[in-house]
Amino acid sequence: MAMADTGKDMDLDGLFAQAREERLGLPESLQAAILADAAAVQAEWQAPEPEKPVRGGFWLQLRQAVGGWPALGGLAAASAAGLWIGFTGPEFLPDPLDLVTASAEVETVPYDNFDLAVLLAEDFE
Amino acid sequence: MTPGSAPSDDALLVLFANGDGQAAAELTARLGPRAFGTAFRVLGNRAEAEDVTQEAMVRLWRIAPDWEQGKAKVSTWLYRVVMNLCIDLKRRQRGGHVDLDAVPEPEDPARSAAETLQERARWDALQGALMQLPERQRQAVVLRHIEELSNPEIAGVMDISVEAVESLTARGKRALAKALAGRREELGYGNG
């Protein structure tokens, strides 16, 4: 584009040249704000990522605390068994006392071996 | 950075992305005045120009880690952001209320006191004439004749063809000349 098409263009060129010479400086407050922004952006990059909050409410937190679905399955099975025994009574289960006495009897039988009993009987004779 | 050779804007941006605070200061010193001056010439309002400049620079800081060296000039990218922000601002003003501060205001007193009245009159005359141009013409004229960008660079900034840039700057210059035609003597250019 011709820069001096007319005499009027010469006026414009002079004005443009003056505008370039008098280029505005950056106001101090703006410069400070720009540099503060720069520091803030850099700080964002350097900051560790915040821990993600546990979401999902009480049940999800409980599941995670217990140890996940497998642990929760075992807990549910044990709870159901306890509830069943509570309602039906323990009749179908062996009496623990019987178990104890039965084992005591076994331990107090002196000679449960036939051969040994015969031998001892011979001794008494 | 080697002594005696100034790092490129690209290199400074990479340094900034790596946490170098001094790179931010250097880039601000290089690019800040150009962004601010352009925004001021296009918007005709200091407060708005400051807001646009600050926002454009924040976008520059944020893009730093993803900047692809050699793909585009940092200054061209910044001019483009400034121009888009100016357009957005004007669009919002046309759609809603017009900021009362958006009237061209004088330079700060310290600067004005140091200038001659005639320099001041020329500055105001050029700015007043620029503000009469359609927005795209004003952008093209400011980038071409005050920021001294090449036509291809302006085409990249404004996302238009080089031919469109030539057309905009030519029409803009003619309109400016017409607006200032009656003020030659007043502005100290005489009749020659």
Q: Is residue B130 located within the same domain as residue B96?
A: no
Question: Do residue B62 and residue B111 come from a single domain?
Answer: no
CB B144 within 8 A of CB B151: yes
Among all residues of chain A, which has the CA nearest to that of B57? A34
Domain boundary assignment for chain A: 27-88, 94-125
CB atoms within 10 A of CB B162: 14
Check whether residue B113 and residue B99 sit in a common domain.
no
Q: Domain ends where: B72, B105, B138?
A: B105
Domain boundary among B88, B105, B122: B105
Domain range for B55 is 1-105
Closest listed residue to residue A35, CA positions, set B161, B60, B11? B60
Contact B33 A12 (CB under 8 A): no
Confidence band of B89 (pLDDT split at 50, 70, 90): very high
For chain B, the distance separating the N- and C-terminal CA atoms, rounded to the nearest angstrom, is 51
- Bigger pLDDT: B82 vs A91: B82
Note the pLDDT tens digit of each residue in A55-101. 666 767 767 777 777 777 777 888 887 777 777 776 676 776 776 66
Q: What is the pLDDT of residue B79?
A: 96
Q: How many Å lie between the alpha carbon of B122 and the closest alpha carbon of chain A?
A: 7
Same domain, B93 and B15: yes
Per-residue pLDDT reduced to its tens digit, A28-43: 999 999 999 999 999 9
* pLDDT at residue A120, rounded to an integer: 65
pLDDT digits (tens, 9 = 90+) for B153-191: 999 999 999 999 999 999 999 999 888 887 766 666 665
Per the structure, how many domains does chain B have?
A: 2
More confident residue, A122 or B126: B126
Q: What is the pLDDT of residue B182?
A: 73
CATH number of the CATH domain containing B72: 1.10.1740.10
Q: Measure B145 CA to nearest chain A CA, in Å.
A: 6
Mark whether B89 and B135 lie in a shared domain: no
B94 and B144: one domain?
no
Quote the pLDDT of residue B98.
47
Least confident window among A94-103, A114-123, B20-29, B103-112: B103-112
Which of B42, B71, B105 is the C-terminal boundary of a domain?
A: B105
Contact B33 A23 (CB under 8 A): yes
Q: Are residues B81 and B172 in the same domain?
A: no
Considering the domain architecture, whether residues B191 and B150 belong to the same structural domain is answered as yes
Instruction: Name chain A contacts of B36, Cβ cutoff 8 Å.
Output: 24, 26-27, 30
Task: State the CATH number of the domain containing residue B148.
Answer: 1.10.10.10
Same domain, B96 and B169: no
**pLDDT digit string, tens, across residues B123-135:** 788 888 999 999 9
With contacts defined as CB-CB under 8 Å, which chain A residues touch B181?
8
Residues 6+ apart with CB under 8 A from A55: none
SS3 content of chain A, % helix, strand, coil (to 5): 70, 0, 30
Question: Which of B32, B54, B123 faces A22 most closely, judged by CB atoms?
Answer: B123
The rounded mean pLDDT for chain A is 72
Mean pLDDT of chain B: 84
